[in-house]
Chain A
Amino acid sequence: MAENMQHLEMLGITKRFPGVLSNNNINIQLGTGEVLAILGENGAGKTTLMNILYGLYQPDAGEILLKGKSVKINSPREAIALGVGMVHQHFMLVPNLTVTENVILGLSRKILVDLKTAAIRIKEISDSYGLAINPDAYIWQLSVGEQQRVEIIKALYRGANLLILDEPTAVLTPQESKELILLLKNMAAQGNSIIVISHKLNEVMAVSDRVTVLRDGEVCADVKTRETSSEALARLMVGREMTRHKREGKSSPGKPVLELQEVFAKGDKGTEALSGITLEIREGEILGIAGVSGNGQKELAEVISGLRKVTKGKLCLNGKESTNHPPIDLIKMGLGYIPEDRMHVGTIPSFSIWENFILKDHHKSPFAKGTFLQNRWIRSHSSSLVEKYGIKTPNLETPTGRLSGGNIQKIVLAREINRNPKTLVAAYPTRGLDIGATDYIHSKLLEARSNGIGVMLISEDLEELINICDRIAVLYDGRIMKVMPVEEADESTLGLLMAGLSEAAS
């Protein structure tokens, strides 16, 4: 076998969706045993391209060659039969089934399921790559990193030798990401070919042998990883020079605007989600909450915004007790809230843009006189916000749900910041946004900080936290592991704390 034998070639792939040319004449190659990164912003066409390879979409034009042979892939099932496996960004695992049941789902052709034989093979695969997965565990018992490894086992069990991973580190802790990168390299060394889709430059630099950069549905570069740098890749990906907004100077925090004292709360399943949280945010500072999601972040944000009951402890806004006050009171007391789910909690997707802008103020002057809405005011207010925040929309009547994630987030941000809150709680405000939109959100949060607003930023992105926060608190299992000035925080310390290891970090 030739050393550089091409495992996969996609030639001249073109895919149109109504109104969008998602992939335009794209060519990619992947050598056997190679790790290829496909880098691009949201909407650059990465996922469409991979869905074509995995048989979920049919290309309008172009050809796919696997090991030199032209193939047509009509469904995921055919992709699997050709040895193509995919690890989706949102795991395709059934939480109340065991690892073994998930792995053999769709494979068994017999009437009775043979879990024993399957479990033995899973153990073999798990051992040969050092995956450390117990076949009898239920998915809901596993950590996110373990679930991802189950996805990889699922593909390998089906005989995949070409693995596609869609944004694989998006949900992992830094340590887990490092382990994954080692695992992928090990798998490639054993002859598997791997494609990693990503918009994270660091991970692309760390894991890949080669990078294909997509922009606006076209390949704009194809480079060897060791011959490039993250800066060069960022330029290629965005198509212009990037200036990243960072925190400037020391903050001069004023009086406390939000205080939590020994706050306890229950999660959706009735188990304790917050176990004695004590925090303080002061005027003009950004406090970051680091942690792997699912450790109480959602509950923390909901408790502060009045959406979840505090079972024990005390909350104060601007020095006044606000424990278990209804949301309307908290809004009046000057709390702004950017919820985690911008699509369904932050906005009402079927409502127009102007309606979403006035969700919190529609009953007040100048937007209403008595029971009647003042359309002229609302419109001029809305169009000024659209302009000020650079929201891309056909018009003010467009249902918010039709906009892109970045534009929806800008609407939420515009609404919340423009109400001049004293405290702003932002839960994962940049999750899933591309570099441009992320940077914009950062600049607005920093602007809020310099206007004296106390900001709580809940995030999983350590780079983001380190760049814009003044202090960082690490949340693990409903407890604050540590609160530290950002100067003392680095990725590895935070990573260990996020994994619940307080001793190791001291």
Chain B
Amino acid sequence: MEGINSEIIIVILATGIRLAAPFLLAALGEMFTQRSGVYNLGVEGIMMMGAFVGFFITLIGGSPLLGIAASLVVGALMGLLMAVVSVTFKAEQGISGIGLYMLGWGLSGLLFRLYVGAITTIDGLKPVAIPLLSDIPFLGPILFNQNGLVYSAFLLVPISAFILYKTTWGLNVRAVGTMPEAADTLGVSVQGIRYQCLIVGSMLAGLAGAFLTVGHANMYADNITAGRGFISIALVYFGRWSPWGIMLGALLFSMADSFQSMVQVLGINFPYELAVVLPYVITIFALAISFGRVWGPAALGKPFQRGTRG
């Protein structure tokens, strides 16, 4: 691999950091959802809706912030829908999640064709160079010259850890996902916590989608999420339901992703067909080695019904 100089490495790493943001946002959201005992396989669909709505509102409203706000709202609504179906009506979570994915996919594509139709670019988020820090050689341009959503995504890692382990709500979430019967007998609302987690998790998924259009590509295209929602779900397992583990996984995948896109763009001497499948191969490989030894939320995937056993 000749011709790789430090500039290219900086570009690859900086893009890798940037591309970690959607994984982080979606996976941290899914972490909360799963910690409360619900799988949300609809993340990909919610991301697609978030991506479209974020793009569309930015396009007509003129401000990326409006677009981001709209993606949060649409995420919350889809989370609410998932909650009604899987928590209140206790539908099989895997199936309702796939339903949500199909809904997001179809609806975002339909709305795009109805109201936009052609590839249009928007004025997305601009990088914000952090004074002083961004001047550090090598690290500065990689870490401290990103847009606001990237900073937020990384800040969300310690914040999520704090919420999960230090707050009453986090304690409730952990209890509900592991032993809902216990939480129920102590007056914690199992359904309430699951609703909250699904809504918050889906808002983050919506935000992750908006990042792709408003904070990265500055345009919308069909299937712009390209499986990132599903990879985020895998990342939750890979990271063992812990924010720091998820960050590690997100960086691993985003770096591979960044590498593959740079291979194509910059014509690095590396078979690009291999590079393109690299992130997905890593997903499967990482899951294969991390599965089996996982100690996840014990009640994951099980709808709660008072007094079913015993």
A: which residues have CB within 8 A of B? 56, 75-77, 80, 86, 88-90, 92-97, 101-102, 104-113, 154, 270
Within 8 A of A (CB), among B254-282: none
Judged by a CB distance under 8 angstroms, whether B285 is at the interface is no
Known: A76-B185, A76-B187, A77-B187. Contact between A94 and B178, CB under 8 A? Answer: yes
In the complex, given contacts A76-B186, A97-B178, what are 7 additional A-B residue pairs having Cβ atoms less than 8 angstroms apart? A80-B187, A93-B179, A96-B295, A106-B172, A107-B186, A112-B167, A113-B167
How many angstroms from the CA of A107 to the CA of B175 in the assembled complex?
13
A106 in contact with B307 given A92-B181, A96-B178, A113-B168 (CB within 8 Å): no
* Chain B residues within 8 Å of A92, by CB: 179, 181-182, 185-186
Q: What is the CA–CA distance of A75 and B168 in the complex, to the nearest angstrom?
A: 22
**A-contact 0/1 string along B160-198, CB 8 Å cutoff:** 000000111111101100110111111110000000000
| Distance of A104 Cα from B306 Cα, bound (Å) | 21
Q: Check: B310 CB closer than 8 A to any chain A CB.
A: yes
Query: Which residues of chain A come closer than 8 Å to B174, judged between CB atoms?
Result: 94, 96-97
Shortest 7 CB-CB distances between A and B: which pairs?
A: A106-B186, A92-B182, A77-B187, A108-B168, A94-B179, A106-B188, A106-B187
A89 nearest in chain B by CB position: B310
Question: B residues bordering A, Cβ < 8 Å?
Answer: 166-172, 174-175, 178-179, 181-188, 293, 295, 298, 306-307, 310
A113 partner, pick from B166, B295, B306, beta carbons under 8 A: B166
Contact A88 B171 (CB under 8 A): no
Q: Within the assembled complex, what's the spacing in Å between the Cα atoms of A92 and B175?
A: 10
| A86:B179 contact, CB within 8 angstroms | no
Given A89-B310, A97-B174, A113-B166, do A105 and B293 touch, yes or no (CB 8 Å)? no
Nearest B residue to A54 by beta-carbon distance?
B185
What is the distance, in angstroms, from A90's C-beta to the closest C-beta of chain B? 6
Across-interface contacts of B184 in A (CB, < 8 A): 76
**Which residues of A sit under 8 angstroms from B295, Cβ to Cβ?**
96
A56 near B306: Cβ-Cβ < 8 Å: yes
B307 smallest CB distance to A (angstroms): 7
A95-B168 CB under 8 A given contacts A80-B187, A86-B185, A88-B185: no
Chain A interface mostly helix, strand, loop or mixed? loop
Name which of B167, B183, B185, B307 has the most chain A CB atoms within 10 A of its CB.
B185
CB distance from B124 to the nearest CB of A (A): 35
- Closest B-chain residue to A47, C-beta based? B310
- Between A and B, 9 residue pairs with Cβ closer than 8 Å are A76-B186, A80-B187, A92-B185, A95-B178, A96-B295, A101-B171, A108-B168, A108-B171, A154-B186
Question: What residues of chain A lie closer than 8 Å to B168, measured between beta carbons?
Answer: 108-113
Contact B181 A111 (CB under 8 A): no
In the complex, the chain B residue whose C-beta lies closest to that of A90 is B310
With most chain A CB atoms within 10 A of its CB, the pick from B171, B182, B187 is B182
Residue from B175, B183, B307 having most chain A Cβ neighbours under 10 A: B175
Task: Name the CB-closest residue of A to B162.
Answer: A112
Q: Specify which chain B residues have a CB less than 8 angstroms from the CB of A97 in the assembled complex.
A: 171, 174-175, 178
B105 CB to nearest chain A CB (Å): 35
- CB contacts (< 8 Å) of A113 on chain B: these are 166-168, 170-171
Beta-carbon contact of B188 and A56 below 8 Å: no
Instruction: Name which residue of chain A comes closest to B186, CB basis.
Output: A106
Docked complex Cα distance between A77 and B188 (Å)? 9
Check A270–B293 contact: CB distance below 8 A.
yes
CB nearest to A109 among chain B residues = B168
Question: Distance in Å from the Cβ of B37 to the closest Cβ of chain A?
Answer: 12
A110 — nearest CB in chain B belongs to which residue? B168
Complex Cα–Cα for A203 and B272 (A) = 74
Bound CA span A93–B186, Å: 10
Q: Which residues of B sit under 8 angstroms from A95, Cβ to Cβ?
A: 178-179, 298
Name A57's closest neighbour in chain B (CB-CB): B307
Which residue of chain B has its CB nearest to the CB of A51?
B307
B16 to chain A, nearest CB (A): 33
Of all chain A residues, the one with the shortest Cβ separation from B179 is A94
A106 / chain B contacts, CB cutoff of 8 Å: 172, 183, 186-188
- Inter-chain contacts of A107 with B (CB < 8 A): 186
- Residues in A with CB closer than 8 Å to B298 are 95
Give the residues in chain B near A270, CB-CB below 8 Å.
293
A86 and chain B: residue at smallest CB distance? B185
Shortest CB distance A279–B (Å): 30
Nearest residue, chain B, Cβ from A154? B186
Q: Closest approach, in angstroms, between the C-beta of A73 and any C-beta of chain B?
A: 13
CA A97 – CA B298 in complex, angstroms?
12
A105: chain B residues within 8 A (beta carbon): 171-172, 175, 182-183, 186, 188
B180 to chain A, nearest CB (A): 9
* Smallest CB separation, B46 vs chain A (Å): 27
Chain A contacts of B170 at CB under 8 A? 113
**B171 contacts which chain A residues (CB < 8 A)?**
97, 101, 104-105, 108, 113
- Min CB–CB distance A341 → chain B (angstroms): 12
| Complex-state Cα separation, A97 to B165, whole angstroms | 10
Give Cα distance in the complex from A76 to B183, angstroms: 11
